[in-house]
Every structure is written in C-alpha cells, then in structure tokens.
Amino acid sequence: MEDALAKIRPHTRSPIAHQKTPADLLQALESTFKDKGTDRTPTAYFAALITTLEETIRTKETSLGDGDVLPAELYLLGLVSPFVPHAVTQTHLNALLSLTAPLFPSLNAHAPSLRSQMSLYNAIFCSLDHSQLDVPNIRQSFATVLQLCVDPRPKVRKRAVDLISDVLSKPPSPLSRHPYAQRVAEWLHTSLQQASTGVLSKSKLDGRSSDSADVAIHLLALLRPAIPPIISVLLALPRLGNPYLSQSSYAILSDLLSTSLDSGTQSSAEQIPAVLTAILASRPLKSDITVAPSWIRVLGRTMLTYRSADAEGCAVNFLGAWKAVWAFVESTQTQIRKAAAESLGSLAQCITLPMAQAAVNEPDDGRSDLRTVITQTSQALDSLAYAQAIPELLTVISSLTTSLALRIEPRKPTTAAEIFLLPLVEKVADLRVQKNFEHKEAADTVISIAMRVVGPAVLLNVLPLNLEPQDRQAGSEPRAFLLPMISQPHPSPLSHFLSYFVPLSERMYNLQKKAEEGGRQAEAKVWSVLVSQVWTGFAGYCHASPDVKSALTPGFSQILSQILYNQPDLRLLVLRGLKVLVESNLVVSEDHVNEPSKYSALTGPITREEAAENIAFLKSQVESWFAVLFNVFSSVASDTRGVVGDVISVWANIAEPQEVSKAYGKVAELFKQNLQKLVRASDVQQSAAATTMIQDLFLLLLPFLDTSDITSLFRVCLTEEVLACRDNGVQKRGYKLLGKSVASGKLQVDVLGTLRQLDSFMVGLSPAAKRDRFVLLSLLVPGIPASSMHVITSLVPEAVLGTKEPSERTRSAAFDLVVAMGKRMSEGGVVKRQMLDEMDEGGATEAQASINEYITMVAAGLAGASPHMISASVTAISRLVYEFKDIIDSDVQTNIFTTLLVFLSSANREIVKSTLGYIKLAIHTLSVDLLRPYLTELVPALLAWSHDHKNHFKAKVRHIFERMIRRFGWDDVYSAAGKEEAAKVLVNIKKRKERAKRKKARAQDEDGEEEAPSVKVVTGDAFEDVLYGSESEYEDTDDESQVDRPTVAKTKNQHGVRLRADGDEPMDLLKGVASRVANAPGNRRRKPGTDAKRFNVDSDSGKIVIPAEESDSDIEVSARKAADIAAGGAYKESITSADGFTRDAKGRVKFNKDTRKRRRENADEDGDVEMADDTVENSSKRNKRRSEVKLGHEFKAKKAGGDVKKGKLEPYAYLPLRQAAKKKGRDRIGVSGKR
C-alpha cells in the first residue's frame, strides 16, 4: 500500500486535475494523522476515507468532474481497501453499502470512478462470510457488477470480469464452492441463450452495443475461467454466423471438456457422447473457411478427451469421426486441409491396442476400422481428387505411424505399424526418389518416423539402400537419404549394425581407397561421406539395445578402438555411441515402474531387468575401455577433449570403486613424473601440456574417487610445484582440483593449515588462477574455527581487490568470498586482534566476531594509498550493505553512509563511480528515516556531477534522483537542492517524468485496453540489478520513440496446384498422381534446352554463338547506368553550383555566390567546346571504353583474373543462357569470344 500511495503524493503540484485532487486529499489525511499522532495504517486510511465520503454525500457534493472530491475519495478507497483486514471491512459493511451502493447508476457514465468503485467492492465481496452474502444490498450490487461484464468499454468490462473471477475463486470458509457460482452460471446460461437467439434484454445491450454477437463474445471471455461447461448452448452459438464467435465457442467447448476431465468430474465425461453427436450434427460446409477449421479441430480434441474418459466408447465412434474429418481433406482451401490433417492426427491417437489386435486377426481384405482407414489413406495417394492434399496426406501417414507403435504381443518386437503400414511407407519412399516429386521433406518425415518405430532391421528389408556399384548396375534407385535417419533411437538390436552396417562401411572404405589411388577425388569424397553417415547411426543402435552382451564382442570392441585411434573423422560418432550405450541403459534400469520401460516403444522391448544386466556387463568392460579412452584423451588436441571427457565420466559413473581407484593410481604416478620434468624443463609451455592433460583427467575422475584417493590428490595439488608453477594452466587446474576436492564433502581439511599454505603461494599467483583461488577460499572460510576469526582479516585485502578484476567471473567469485566471510563473521566467534601483524603492539584486545566488526575490517581499505583500493573497498562495502542490511546496526549504517558521502567530492573518477553505485544502492535499500537527515548534503553533492557526461555520470545521477523522488517525495528532494541553478536539474527530471506519464496515458487511451506491464531486463543477480541497473522509468523520454511499422507478410500466389505433363508420355490419372503435382504455375516452370534453341551453333567448334546484333543483357545496361551515376556528379554539383556550399576549416557553412564569373564557368562546362589537344579526347574515349562493363562481369573473381579477360571472354566462362537470350539493346558478344 505504501508503494501505491508513494506514487500519488508527488502529484500535489500536478496541473492535471484528476491527478492533483487525490494527492491533495491524501496529503490532508496524512496531515491529520500527524496532528493526532495516528499511525499510517490501512485501517486508519480506510476509516478516514469513509468519514470523508460520508461528509461529501451529506453535503451533496456528488459531481463527478475531473477535479471533484468524490472521484478522488472512491479512487483512494479502491486503492486502500485490499489491504484492510476483513474484520474491519465487515464492521463498516452497512456504512459502506449505504454510501456507495446508490452511486452505481450515476457512476455508470464515468468509467474511471466506476472502476474505482468495483475495486472497492472486490475487497468487500472477498471479505464477507457466508451469512453476509444474503444481504439484499450485497446481492443487488453483485448483480450490477455481473451486468457490467458485457459492458462495451474494455477497461470497465475487464475490471468487472476480474471482480467476478476473484470472488468465485475465494469462497467463504468452510465452503469449497462459492454460493454465487450457481447464480453466475444461470445468468451466463440465460444470457448465452438470448444471444444465440438474437433476443437480448435492454440492460445487456445498454444502448452502446446492439450486436448480439458482441455480447456473446464478452460472455465467453467470462465463461472460460469461471464457469463449468454449458455445452448445448455453446454448440448453438455458431448459428449466429459470427466467425470469431464460432471459433471461440468451439475452442472453449474443447477446453472445458479437457479441464473437467483433468479435475476428475464424471458428469462431463458422461456428456461427451452427446457432445460428439451434437458436433457431428452441426457439420459446416466444405467451403466455409471461417467455421470449418474450428469445427474440425474441436472434433479432434473432443475425440481425444473421449479416449481419456472411455477408450472403448471412443473406439466405437472412431470410424464415424474419421470419415467426417476426412471429407475435408480434399478441400480447395489450404487452411481447411491443414486443420483436417491436424484433427486426423488427433484421431490417430485414439487408436487403441484392442483395435490393432482385432485388425491383425482379420484377413487382409477385412473391414475393420483400422484397415478401412489405412486403405483409404493409401488409395488417396494415387487419387486425382487428393492431388493438392499430398502434404496433408503425408502428415496423416506420419501420425498413423506414430500411433501404431503398439506391440501386438508384449514380449515380441513386432509393432502394428510393421504389420499394416510398411506397404504405405514403401509407396511414399518410391515417391521420394522420383525427380518430379515436390514434397520430399514431408516424405522424409514419414520415413523417419517409420524408421524410429519399426527400426532399420525391418525397414531396410523393404527399402534397401542400393548404394554399392552392383546395385546401381542393376538399375536400382539409391536411397542414401535413409542413412541420416538411422541415428535416432529405434528398436533394432545392436547386432544388426554389426552384421549389416560394419561390413557395408568396410566395403565403402575400400571403394574410397581405390578411388583415391585412381585420382578420382570427387568419388572418394562421396564414399567418405557415406561411411561417416553409416557410423552416425551407431548411436541409434546403442540406445537401450536388448543384446548388448552378445553384440559388444571383443572383435567389435577392437574395431571401435581402432576407429578411435586411427580415424579422426569417425571418432566423434563412435564416442557418441559409447556414451548413449551407458546412459540409455542407466535411465531404463533406474525407471521406477514395474512395467516395461517408458522407452520400450522406441528403444525395443527392454525391461528394467534387461537394462540392469546390460549395465552389469558394461561394468566388466570398464577397465579396457578406460585404457582406450585415456589414450585417446591424451592424443587429441585440448580443444577437442570435451567429448572424450564426457564419455570417460559416463563410464566412470558405472565403474566399481576399485576400478576407478586403480585408474587413478596409474594417472597419479604419471602426473608426479611429468611434474618433476616440468620443474626442470626450460621450455615451460611445451612441457606443461602433458601435465595439464593429466590434471584434466583428475577433474573427470574426482567425483568418483573415495576419501583416501581424494586426500592423496589434495596433498599432491597443495604444493609449490603446482600452485606456484610457471605455467598458468597448471596453476588454474591445481586450484580447481583443490576446490572440487573440498566441495566433494569426502575430505577432512585442516582449514588453518591450508590457509597458511595458500598465503605462501600468493607471490607467483597467475591472473588466470584467481577465480579458482577465490572459489577455494569461499569453500574454506565456513570451516574457520570460532577461536581463530582473526584469519579472515588476512583474506580481506585479496577479496576486496578481486572485486575490481577485469574478468566478470573472477569478480563474481570475489564477491562470493566477501559475502562468505561476512556470513562466517555473523555466526559469532572471537577476533584475536593481538594475533594481527598491524595490531601486535599497543595492548590490542579480543573482539566478538559480528557483521559490524567485519564491515569495520573492510572499511579499513578506505584509507588505502591507491584510488584502486579505495574504489574496491567502496564496492565491497556496497555488497555487504545489500547482503546484510537487516542485521547491520543503524549506527554502523549511518557511519558508512556519512563516510562514503565524503568521497562524492573526490577528484578521482574511479572512486566517485563506486560511490555513486553505493548511493544508488543505499537509496534503494536503506530506510527513509535513516537517509532523510542527510538529504541536504547528498543532493548538492550529486548535483555537482549532474552535468558530467564522462563515464555516464549524468545518466547515473539522473537515475539516482528519480529513485530519491520516488522514495522521499518531490518536496523534500527539491528543498535540499539549494541553489536555483542546481534546482533546474530536478525540475527537468520532474518534467521528463510527467511528460512520459502523459505519453503513456495517451497511448493507453488510444489502444483502449490495459497496457501490458513492461518487463525489466535483469542480469540474474539481484545485487547487480540494484547496483548497475538503471531502473529509470523515463530513461529514454527525451528521444522520440520509434513507432513499430506493421510488417506485411509476403503471401505466395494462390494459384493452387496443377498436373505436370512430361512431353509425349501418356499420363495415368489412376496411379502415381502425387509425383505429377506441381505447385508452381505452368508458365514459370523452366524447360531444359529452351534457351539454347535461340542461338546458332558454330559448325567448327560446336559452340553456341550469340549474334552481335542482339541486345545487351539487362546486367550490362544497369551496370552502365550505375557507372554513369557513380561518376561523382552529386558531389561536383554541391561544390560548383550556385546553390551549393562549402565548409571552412572551422566547419562553418559558406554558400556559393551567384556571380557573373560563376555563371560563365557553368556555361563553359555545359557548352560544346572543342579541345585543341586530341590526346585528351582520345584518352577520354579510351577511359570510356575501359569503363564499359562486359557480359558476365558478375562471375569474375575479385582477386584473380578469372575467366573474364580484358576485351574478350574465355571459352569456358559460365554464362546463363537466359541472360544472353534477351532481345533488347546492342553489341551482343558470343560465348566463344567471337563477335
């Protein structure tokens, strides 16, 4: 409430009457509170406003103009009432009703006051108990608000709908349903019935909206969140003929059915058959593009809802619904066909396992629903009537394939899709390889889904790849497009890859080598790509395969190892498969479902027990695979080790602890040897590569090590050889290993001893290792004993200076360390000051650890010798004030503020920048009472930087003042400004603010709807948002806002589809129509050879000759024009003409004078003057000829000469014949270079 009132108080000087009156009234109320010593509580405001309203009505000052008191009182009451306790509202109920209920008729013509009244009544209705809801005035007021739900004014209607929704969602205790819910439902039912019949009462039309459809739309907006289904009325609304009304009614019907089923309401489930019958009875015309798509979609969603409620009943109505939607597939309208395809996809999800089993038991020519649907779809692919619906048919086939991933028998991999849809998929694949087929992407989707459902082992028997030379010689069409589809998860076993694809890849690899030996590089590249695509599918076979134990033989493992060692192109593909092999089995084995895994539909009939057996087998292979993966990890480049490291981590996750410990022992011994070599090496960078590689292995193994191994690793890394190494990478990884060891929780750390050792390594610390060092210190600080809190003092300077590091991640880690030390100090302990080097003399005593003591330690940096240290200390203090604002003593807060306020007058910009950040945070965080006494010092100090543009100081100061005005009010801040010149800055800020508010209000009035709340851009860190975020609501108000231009989407030509005739070949309209459908208009399709027919052929060379009499190409003409325009004419005109101007050395403009000399010069330039020197003329002509652009210039290489030579064209220059075949212009050149 205080935030809302704070936005009103500054408007006491507003020139706008409806803003000034509430502010003046609020100021008067608060002055009364101050005089009587009353606290500013919601109850106090509420009681005072009721008294004021009673006096206003008693004196009959009920006018509703902009500057009148009654609208202001209602506005403040609506603002305050939500914060008033319910008991207080119930106590004043009679007074509120007697004062405000009679105002509804007069307020109806004044929307702002009416909205305020509804805000008040929202709070009243929500505070009442069950007995008070029957009060006549309450019931009448609720009825009045209910009528406003169909008001034509958007803001009034929205406020009324929000009120009804809020009231119904908060029933009085102990009721679970509001007593008014039935009343609202009956009112909606009656109103919708009247709207559907076109008969509405005058109270609903209200003289402003005479259209029943508009009223019905408003009713549906209220219906969606508030009312249970009233289905029969919704189905009658489309008869009004309003497109939006029809779409809304169908959509809401579907939503209501789904919502009622989700909530477990059985009554709505019982209504679904009747609803389905009503929907099927209200079928629109096929040509009705407005209603048909919505009707089709609601039918599909209703069937889905029916399946969830009663699968058997849904199966009975499945074929009837399918036929009803199928009739729209042959529509000429694209929107209707797409809606039909979407709805058929929903219907396909209604296919149940009993339906599939019944179809399997029938003969092939059976009449079951499923076979009827599949037969109908298959025939439509060859039917001329469905020629333009080929994309939609392919979408339907994809949906059927997905829905038929049902296993007819639980323990067998055979699916219903394999039994019913393979012929249909084969037909789609045959269309896919035809050159004239235009929907290859949709066909690929069908085949890809079939691959995922039935697997390559089944699909490749029907659709062989035909990639080898003997297959091509037999005339079989190659299907290389199948290879990328194998990489997705599928049910085929890993043994199929071993028996089919591994030999195939070997044969292809041999063909690649033969092509390379024969110098056929292009052919070799083709075979290389095919081999890569084959091994891309390895991961798909590894996905929860049921036969891992039998397929992953030593021989196959040897093949995989050799690929990892010797073939970098295939290494990533094999690594991906090895990772999937472990992860997929882990997911299935950990699935807490007693039935077959949820992955079984896609990854084979694998159960938890089979997955556990696979994991047990893979555990026995860990040692050998560790050796292979470690060797590969050490041999690849550092930037490609990430994938190998991921595979090592996955396999280490399933390894036994002794296997991981054994691997760690070998790696640790190797690390010690390489570390000694690094210490003695002269070339550090070259020798450090092996050491950093082993450290990376440590990082991968560390999460799986036991306590003894982690302790050993911690000791190895906490040495001078690692943490003071001359190589940055070794240092960085050393600190990272230490931090992860501590974070693992398996290590018992001597914190004080570790901190002493770390302190000794500060001298040779690399900047790259600072972040990991800060992370390590943050993990160690919570373990500092309570009796040794003086250790924190030695860490403060390093952490404070870290907040000014260039690296953002390092700064973030330093801030975390500062906060971690603050939290540890706030937990208590003893600071032994006599143990500090600076305080070992003078009888220093012990002090209790607290956040106040810690801030005193950090504040010591304010006396630093360098501006950098002072600035860092200010930044660190800012973070501490933000983090611990609730527990820092007010005296300490005051001392900090007054101390840092002095730094605003510093001459060093780095210090001032940090101080401005603290001031900004203090205004946002600290209490108003603490800061108000220092406004007279703060405001002038800030105004001193208000005109400084460097380092964005002006913008920062403006943002700070905007915050101050919001928190302290305009008067307090303005009175503290002092000088008139300084006060102008604040006046400008106020004007900007008011201008922005007016602009925003105008925009809302023009839109006619509530403006969506603006979303602030946040950084993800609350402290960063407060310290560096502007939070200026009016930051860009000086600039003209850019108006978003409406973008017009480019629409394709609505020419439909056509049948393509290929030469003299007769067309069979009963078969293969899909491959002869073209979307492009007939006159735009290019025919090979038509351009070449326009030219003669040279009898000697056989080359095409373009006659010289023919025209230049369009490119030549346009290029010549561009060359003429680009000759500098515009610049010359601006310099020499009488209307031009020039600038002197100071940038001042000097206009050209229209003198006699100037006119004579212009006349000489325009006239035909003979030049005495022929050489000049000849040179000009030569330059002109040289500037002419030749045909084919766009294909000339930019650096090399290319095919286009000086004055002629090489015989092999590429020129499009369509360009050369133009009939306009002159100087045509032959392609062969002849004229």
The answer to whether 1075 touches 434, Cβ cutoff 8 Å, is yes
Q: What is the dihedral of CA 931, 933, 934, 940, to 10 degrees?
A: 120
What pTM, to 2 d.p., does this model score?
A: 0.67
pLDDT at 263: 45
Write the Ramachandran bin of 776: left for phi over 0, alpha for psi from -120 to 50, otherwise beta: alpha
Across residues 166-189, what is the average pLDDT?
74
Across residues 480-492, what is the average pLDDT?
92
Across residues 607-627, what is the average pLDDT?
91
CB atoms within 10 A of CB 321: 23
Across residues 932-947, what is the average pLDDT?
85
**Gyration radius of the chain over CA positions:** 41
Across residues 347-356, what is the average pLDDT?
90
Alpha helices in 884-908 (DSSP H): 890-902
Q: Predicted confidence band at 522 (pLDDT cuts at 50, 70, 90)?
A: very high
Phi then psi dihedrals of residue 1078, to 5 deg: -125, 140
* Distances, alpha carbon 451 to alpha carbons 357, 418, 488, in Å: 22, 10, 8
What are 585-600's pLDDT values in tens digits? Answer: 999 888 644 444 333 4
Q: How does DSSP assign 740-797, residue by residue?
A: HHHHTS-----HHHHHHHHHHTSTT--GGGHHHHHHHHHHHGGGS-GGGTTHHHHHHH
Q: What is the dihedral of CA 64, 65, 66, 70, to 10 degrees?
A: -30
Of 733, 845, 847, 864, the C-alpha closest to 796 is 864
What are 768-810's pLDDT values in tens digits? Answer: 999 999 999 999 999 999 888 888 998 999 999 999 999 999 9
pLDDT at 217: 66
* Distances, alpha carbon 501 to alpha carbons 159, 269, 417, 418, 485, in Å: 67, 51, 24, 21, 14
> What does the alpha-carbon distance between residue 439 and residue 397 come to, in Å, rounded to a whole number?
14
Task: Write out the two tokens for 553.
Answer: 């033989």
> What does the alpha-carbon distance between residue 354 and residue 938 come to, in Å, rounded to a whole number?
80
> What does the alpha-carbon distance between residue 321 and residue 299 come to, in Å, rounded to a whole number?
8
Burial 101-130 (b: 16+ CB within 10 A, else e): bebbeebbebebbbbbbbbbbbbbbbbbee
Task: Write out the two tokens for 948.
Answer: 């400084």
Q: Predicted confidence band at 1166 (pLDDT cuts at 50, 70, 90)?
A: very low
pLDDT at 1225: 46
Residue 230 has pLDDT above 60, yes or no: no
Across residues 634-638, what is the average pLDDT?
88
> What does the alpha-carbon distance between residue 284 and residue 275 come to, in Å, rounded to a whole number?
16
pLDDT at 1081: 52
Beta bridge partner(s), residue 1078? 1058
Q: What is the DSSP letter of 383?
A: -
Beta bridge partner(s), residue 830? 848
Residue 189 has pLDDT above 60, yes or no: yes
Q: How many CA atoms lie within 13 A of 523 on its CB side?
A: 15
> What does the alpha-carbon distance between residue 380 and residue 389 come to, in Å, rounded to a whole number?
9
Does a cis peptide bond (omega within 30 degrees of 0) precede residue 174? yes
Q: Minimum mean pLDDT among 97-106, 143-152, 1029-1038: which range?
A: 1029-1038
Residue 958 has pLDDT above 70, yes or no: yes
- Cβ-proximal residues to 1032 (8 Å cutoff; 6+ apart), any chain: 958, 959, 962
Q: What is the DSSP letter of 866?
A: S
* Distances, alpha carbon 499 to alpha carbons 73, 457, 564, in Å: 86, 10, 20
The answer to whether 340 touches 296, Cβ cutoff 8 Å, is yes
Q: Cα–Cα–Cα angle for 907, 912, 916, nearest 5°?
A: 150
Across residues 116-120, what is the average pLDDT?
80
pLDDT at 980: 66
Q: What is the DSSP letter of 407?
A: B
Q: Cα–Cα–Cα angle for 457, 458, 464, nearest 5°?
A: 80
pLDDT averaged over every residue in the chain: 77
pLDDT at 396: 94
The answer to whether 859 touches 795, Cβ cutoff 8 Å, is no
Q: Predicted confidence band at 615 (pLDDT cuts at 50, 70, 90)?
A: very high
What are 835-889's pLDDT values in tens digits? Answer: 766 555 555 577 888 999 999 999 998 888 899 999 999 999 999 999 998 888 8
pLDDT at 358: 87
Phi then psi dihedrals of residue 1147, to 5 deg: 85, 5
pLDDT at 624: 93
Q: How many CA atoms lie within 13 A of 1059 on its CB side?
A: 17
Across residues 115-138, what is the average pLDDT?
77
> What does the alpha-carbon distance between residue 834 and residue 1161 come to, in Å, rounded to a whole number?
94
- Cβ-proximal residues to 997 (8 Å cutoff; 6+ apart), any chain: none
Percent of the chain past pLDDT 90, that is, above it, reads 29
pLDDT at 1037: 38
pLDDT at 208: 44
pLDDT at 303: 87
**The tokens 């509120």 sit on which residue?**
96
Residue 713 has pLDDT above 90, yes or no: yes
pLDDT at 662: 93
Task: Write out the two tokens for 1164.
Answer: 């000489």
Residue 1221 has pLDDT above 60, yes or no: no
pLDDT at 1181: 45
Pairwise pLDDT comparison (422 vs 80), residue with the higher score: 422
Highest mean predicted confidence (pLDDT) among 31-45, 105-119, 669-683: 669-683
- Cβ-proximal residues to 815 (8 Å cutoff; 6+ apart), any chain: 803, 876, 879, 1023
pLDDT at 939: 86
Q: What is the DSSP letter of 1045?
A: P
Q: How does DSSP assign 684-727, residue by residue?
A: HHHHHHHHHHHHHHHHHHGGG--HHHHHHHHHHHSSHHHHT-SS
The answer to whether 89 touches 47, Cβ cutoff 8 Å, is no
> What does the alpha-carbon distance between residue 637 and residue 635 come to, in Å, rounded to a whole number?
7
Q: What are the percentages of helix, strand and coil residues in the chain, rounded to 5?
A: 70, 0, 30
